[in-house]
Amino acid sequence: MHRRLLLVAASSLAIAGSPVAFAQGTIKVGFPIILSGAGALFGEPALKGAQMYVDEVNAKGGVLGRKIQLIPRDTKGNADEAVRVARDLILRDDVQFIVGTLTSAEGPAVSTIAKENKIVFIAPIPKTDQLTAPANLHPYVFRSASNTTIEGRTAAEIVAKWPVTRVATIAPDYAFGQDVTKSFVEHLKKIKPGIEVVDQQWPKLGEADYTPFINAQMGKKPDAVFSAVWGGHFVTFAKQAKPLGYFQAIKNNFIAIGEGGSIETARALGADYPVGIWANSYDVFDWPDAPAAHKDYIERVKKYTKEETPSSWPVTGYLAMQFLVEAIAKAGSVESDKVSAALKGLTIDSPLGKMTMRAKDQQANHGQFWGRTKLDAKYPFAVIENVTRIDPAPFMD
């Protein structure tokens, strides 16, 4: 009986992330992410980026003299499944930290698990403002991704310069789509008085047939469209919209957020990509003004993934893990409370330049690349023309 009580106590310490329980062991990091279905288009490369960073750190001796083990789990893009695997990672695998999730339904759901278990959770991709809104903020949730305020307002700044007056929107009907569309519309109306939002379409996340939404929107005759349809969902949408003359009808005055300009999306669409639209991306392999750190990172990604034109998404997992590891080093501990304190205000030298995790909202100042898409004879897919990286700072508050 005495031995059983000792085992239970040890298990409880492990779940809490006790430095005693893990002092000599591997630092375990759970990585719940979409690895199946349409969302895997972004989830798989994000995981590769995280694992690449872990491998590089481990090759140099780890952090605090300890190796890091990344433990991935497929969330299937479902919030309930994300909660289930997060709990399993904590209780069964004894992870000390959680990094991951992709959708804006999964992120807030896993945040509650992190709060319950007092375990640091860094979201590398979910953008909904709700994740770190004052009512939902707690000491253990952090975001290294951009957010819906930054993305929506940045897109509005771009569209405001177009000679258009009748704007429509199309976005998946869940937290990300709702929040980013709201930010876009409110900011656009503020900076371009007289703009008219003539139509808003809300397909469900994972919609298989966008044709009714496309036809309904074309019937309202907008001269520009803001889209928050992302990943494999955008691939389906674009393939259905292009033959209907949708993009031609608005003269390519279409802005595809949700990383519509990412290499994954462009490669998946191939000849079906609606070249000439505006889009964003977390990373580009051909950044013309890239600092030396980014050029070096791209070469390492090429080698790691064995892709000559590497994915746009590894950087998301890479940055989240960099924030975590540097916070552990700064804290000199794997205790979540100490790592949480170290994360607040932490500045890292990322492949994209200096990046800071703001203390007041636990949100990184993570900007994105924007531009009109074009065909380039060097590549079998569309790329962003005149790549511009927009500073997110003016759009964060």
Residue 165 in contact with residue 223, Cβ under 8 Å? yes
- Co-location of 212 and 261 in the same domain: yes
- The confidence band for 122, taking pLDDT boundaries of 50, 70 and 90, is very high
Helical H segments across 60-144, by residue range: 79-91, 106-117
53: CATH: 3.40.50.2300
- Co-location of 128 and 158 in the same domain: no
Q: How many domains is the chain partitioned into structurally? A: 2
- Co-location of 267 and 383 in the same domain: yes
For residues 306-322, give the mean pLDDT: 95
Output the pTM of the full model. Answer: 0.90
Residue 287 lies in a domain: no
Provide the 3-class DSSP secondary structure of residue 131. Answer: helix
Burial of 289 (0-12, 13-18, 19+ CB in 10 A): exposed
Residue 293 lies in a domain: no
- Co-location of 34 and 171 in the same domain: no
For residues 76-86, give the mean pLDDT: 97
- Co-location of 277 and 388 in the same domain: yes
Residue 321 in contact with residue 54, Cβ under 8 Å? yes
Q: What is the model's pLDDT at position 20? A: 35
What order do you get walking across the sheet with 68-74 strand by strand? Answer: 68-74, 27-33, 97-99, 121-123, 141-143
- Co-location of 169 and 46 in the same domain: no
Tokens in use for 149?
């305020």
- The confidence band for 38, taking pLDDT boundaries of 50, 70 and 90, is confident
More confident residue, 22 or 392: 392
CA distance 59 to 327: 19
Q: Which amino acid is at 40?
A: A
- Co-location of 263 and 168 in the same domain: yes
Residue 14 lies in a domain: no
DSSP tally for the chain: helices H, then strands E: 14, 15
> pLDDT tens-digit profile of 316-330?
999 999 999 999 999
- Co-location of 204 and 60 in the same domain: no
Tokens in use for 3?
């031995």
Residue 311 lies in a domain: yes
Which single residue is written with the structure tokens 């900076």?
Answer: 191
Q: Find the domain containing 142 and state its range.
A: 27-146+298-356
- Co-location of 69 and 213 in the same domain: no
Tokens in use for 35?
């690895």
Residue 20 lies in a domain: no
- Co-location of 247 and 186 in the same domain: yes
- Co-location of 260 and 311 in the same domain: no
The DSSP code for 193 is: T
Exposure pattern of 160-199 as b/e (b: 16+ CB <10 Å)?
eeeebebbbbbbbebbbbbbbbbbbbebbbeebeebebbb
- The confidence band for 24, taking pLDDT boundaries of 50, 70 and 90, is low
- Co-location of 66 and 122 in the same domain: yes
Residue 113 in contact with residue 90, Cβ under 8 Å? yes
